Every structure is written in structure tokens, then in C-alpha cells.
Structure 1
Amino acid sequence: MARRTSDTADGRRRSTIREVADMAGVSVATVSRILSGSYPASPATRARVMRAVKELDYVANAHARALAGTPSKSVAIVLNSVISPHYAHVAQGVETQAAVAGRLCLIGTTGGDPERELAMVKFMREQHAEAVILVGNVVADDRYRERMSQYAHTLAAIGSRLVLCGRPPLGPDVPAVVIEYDHAGGAFAATSHLLSAGHRRILLLGSRPGYTTAQGRLTGYRQALAAYKVPHDPALEVEGTMEWQEGHRMMKERLAAGPRDFTAVFAVNDLIAGGAYRALAEQNIRVPDDVSMVGFDNLPPSLDLNLTTVHLPHEEVGRTAVRLALEHEERGGAFPHVTMGTHLVLRDSVRPTPP
């Protein structure tokens, strides 16, 4: 006998959006908007809808039907930029693992704009991406966290995964895979290396309030000072973005402000270190003979500068993001939270201070 169009392949009747709405006590339009992530519903209303979705298995079945007619499955990566070496290497890891898993890779950029990132996640969900991987800093206010949490729930409801790379969790009840770097540990090691060489006036370039990556590295810097019982001097922390031009600007302005009051530099990333290195050279200040320097990332231009820096496993992070997102069924639907280790790469940019 022919199977009814409302039945699944194993004979079970498919749930309808009307049944979800009735169970949740809301309208069909409200269900549709909440599942699309575009409706600012109260937490209680959203919880009722998502509970009904889960109990009736409505959205998961709808997603399966959509994929059944789609020849190519995909994962999505959303980045601040494709120019920065950091983002490019993570994206390469995502692409590599996506190819191994037989998936195409969708890429979108945001320029660090939270609203654009939210719009990009919504778009990738509508493309039925099996994972939406967010990489890079963003200023996360309460409104952003609430909306991104909604997207995480709707992605989970359709069998997809939100993956946060290099940023902290959105909250204890938000269904997202989290892959963090040990920013503080890496910065502690880099700053400790300078301190062990006798440096006590260490200039930090790249402080940026509200940005998790910069904040984590600032925390490690301060922890190292405390461990060596070196007084913390806020005047040695210079604010700026993570770009070569900013490194050049910060150092140039610092040198122009008066006599040099530091013997070493901790650059929050290698691009900042490159710009600072150029500004020092323009004043005939040599690294490491006159000023010692360490960076963070172990990406260009660290090799060209022979720069001691902190290594981050960028491509491995990208591969891990795809792997954890696609293996959620094997993991019993879990949302893992992992921290990728760092290590210090010693080159020739640090000299002991004179006795």
C-alpha cells in the first residue's frame, strides 16, 4: 500500500508545525519565527516551543527532508577577515577536514561587526549547514548573547551545531561546541620568558577592553608579573587592534612621547610585533640588542623577524571544529568544550638585561 505523504519512511507520522504550536500554546507564526531565529520571544515562550519541537521531533524531521533533496552537504565558517593569517589558517583547517568528511565549505566574513555575524549565522542556518563555525573576536553585549543563544538552540533543533572557536561559551545552557585557546597560559609563558631574562619594564601592545582574545592575553601578562612580584604599571599597557599598522602606530607614538621607559615588548599578536619592530628600526632601536620582544600566534611575520612567540594550533583548531560538530551523534548529542594548548617557540628576539 502506498505510504501517506505525511508518513516517514518507517511508517511513523510526521509532526506538523500546527501540532508544535498547539503543544506550546502559541501561534504557528510564532513557532516559525522562533525557529528561524528572527523572533525576540521571551525565554519562557522560546523554551515551550523548543520543548515541543524536541518532543514532536518536528524540526529534525523537516531538516532531514530538506537534506534528502540536497545533493551536497556543507559546513560554514564565519570569520572576521580572510586576510589575517590567523583566520586564514583556521579556515584552511576547516576546509581540509570538511573535504575529508565529504562536505563543501561555506565562508562568510563580518569585519568584527556583531550584527553582521548574527545575520550570517541566520543565513548559514537557512542554507542547512551542518555546522556553523564562528572564529575570532566579537564584542558580545547582552542583546548579542541572547540572539546568538537563540540561534544555537534552533541549530541544535535541526541537528546542526554552533561552534565557537577562540571565544568563551555563551552560557551554561547554550547548546554550542566550544574550542578555546589557552590565551592566558600562552601569555604567561611569553611574559615569564622576558621576566626570567631580567626584564621588569615590559610594554604590552594590543590591550583591547571587551575583546576576549586580547583580554585573555592581558590576563596572562598580569599573572606573570604577579608571579615574579613585579609591580603592575597600567601605563605600560597600550590599547590597539591586532593589525600591523596598529603595532607601528602604538610603538611610534610611545617613542615620541618621551624617553624610552621599557626594555622589552610583549605584542599581543605577531602582526602587532611586526609593526612595532618597524617603528623601532625607524628610530635605530635594535631587536634584541636594545629591546627584547615576544609575540603571539607563530604566524607571519614571526619567522621573518626571528621572533620568539607563542604557537597556536590554528589549522588543528579548524579541523577539530568540523570533527566535533559532525560527530555529535556518535557523542550522544553532547556539546564538548575543549581548550587547545599553546607552547613558546624560542627564537632570537630576547636578550638578558645588562647586569
Structure 2
Amino acid sequence: MSETADLRSFVLDLLEDLGAEWLDRGPLTWVRLPDERAEALEVPSSFCMTFAPDQAGRFDAELVAPGSYMLERMLTAATRRGHWGAAKVDTPSGDWVVRALADGGVAMPDPRASFPVRLWDAWIYVFLFRVTLLADEKRESFHAIAVSEDGAESWPESLDLAEAPLVPVPWPADEPQVEGRYTVASRTLEARLSSNLEAFRRDCLSLLEEEVRRVFGYFDRTARELRDAEPSVSEDLVRAIEAERDRRLSEALERYDPKAEARLCGIRAVRVPTAEVLLPTRHGPIRVRTDPWTRNVRGLSCDGCGSTVGPWTLIAASTWRCARCVDATAGESARPREHPPSDTLPR
């Protein structure tokens, strides 16, 4: 599916959720919204929109495209409205436990070793966040964080999985406990984005330093050139130049001040078949859990860094490493570049 098709699907789903009716006429889409929804989007109750830039303005059509004001308003409406839903995953046919373990990086050479010691249905709560980084430019991204039913485990999930079509079911009865799971998801999101936030802060600081040098250079050079051209130049004029310089510096400090915001967009509770399996480790057998939906292996920790987020790789007998440690080890053990033979004889 193309980017335009994905955007169109998202927008039409949102409009349907807002109670809209629409009719396609070639590249134009005519929309009718309830008055209160139209007011939230700052559009008439009946309006025309298009996903094609060359059709914008035709019949006063609103352009819906990345960066457009109309799409920004729709994203804001979607964020404020949020979405709660519950669904279930049916038990797959065949030996789904072996497949789920293998997809999570825990391949069991002996199928009998993957025989579950416990099978049950459990809830997984998926929290969808919209993260905004704001300074001189605006960066936005969406992140899905899954939390186990007891709130003891959480891990990042793909947006495709979080929004995959499933069979709807009633919301679980323990809804008041969602707040605790939301706290767990927020902490996991913060840890996941810590390096991104630090890189964003460094970028802003570098841009601020560059802008401060530019402002000082320009205004100091201007004052110096005025004094050189006319030694009797009024000190009031110099002070006015310095005041303008200070104003520009204050603007730069405000413009490059990094700000980060994470807003909850939706929550999805998914009831999934869950299996618990005994897994050999160098510390002895431990109980790990998996399911056919996320295929995430939980309860295992990396022998290198202690991370509890897979996928996993068996390094040696009963020694497990996370993907980050495996990648780091591969980089360190890469063969060094060979030097061309020297014409200088050894002494």
C-alpha cells in the first residue's frame, strides 16, 4: 500500500469514527460532518477535500497531505478523541508454541523441551503514544508499548501489530487497573526514547551555539563598522544595535529550547492464548511466556546487559543475549581492514 493510500485509509477511518459521511468524486471527496465535529476540525459541516496536491483549491477542496494544516487538525482531533478497544486472538492450529518461541529467537532443538507447563488466556494491553519533539522544528512519531496483564512486563511493539484487525470483544472487567499499566508503559517509552531525546537535545544545543555565534558576529561587526566609518557615531545608536542583538539572542534561546511531549492516543486490550515453558539458562531453568500474537518471549534476561527485551540469540550453552548485545558483539569482532603490503623490509 502506498503512502497516499495509507493516509487516505487513516483519514477515512477517522472521519467514520467522527460520524461523517463521504462521497468520492474522482480525486475529490465530499464530506458531511456533525456540527460539533466540524467545529473541532474548523471546517463547515459539508466540505470538500483531496489527497492530490494539484487538486487543492478546486471547489475549495482542503488538501490532506503530510504537513498540511488540514491533516494537522485531524491528527489533533484523533489524539484528543483517543481510542479504547478490546479484541481477542483465537488459538492457532498446530504447535503454535514452538513457532512463537522460534520467532522470538528461542528455537528449541528438541520439540519435547518446548512442551508448555501451563496454558491459559491472558490480556495484553497495548498503549499507543504520539511523541512530539519541538524546538526550531517539529518532529512527531507514534510508538506502541505492550504491557502484560499483571503489569510486571512491558516491551515495544510494532504499530502494524498494534493496529492489526482482530475479533472485537467486551472490554475486560478490571478497567480501573489500566492506570497502573499506563504508568508502566510510560516508563518503558521513556527508557526506549532516552537516547533519541538526548540526541535531539544535543542537536538543539549545537544549532543554538551556531545561531548565537551568527548573531554576535553580525551585530558586533555592524557596530564596529559604524564606529570605523564615523568615529563620532552616537552611543545611542550603538546601544540600539546592542539591544536588537540581545532581543535576537533571547529569541534564539526560546526557539532552540528543546521540548518533548508524549500523549496517549489509544489503548487496546487483547486477549491472547499464553504458554509458559521451562527454558534452560546458565542460572538454571526459568519459566518464560509467549503468545501467538506478539511472539515475544518474556521472562528471559540478557546475560550481557540484563535487558528483558528480545528477540533473543543463544550464544553458547544456555547463554542468551538480546539483539542489541549481539549487534554490538558482531561490530567489535568484525575483521579489521587489511593493510597493503609494505615495500619496506623489516629490520
Task: Please give the TM-score of this superposition, normalised by the length of structure 1.
Answer: 0.22
Task: Please give the TM-score of this superposition, normalised by the length of structure 2.
Answer: 0.23
Looking at both structures, which has the greater relative contact order when contacts are Cα pairs under 8 Å and sequence separation is at least 6? Answer: 2
Structure with higher Rg: it is 2
Structure with more of its chain in strand, by fraction: 2
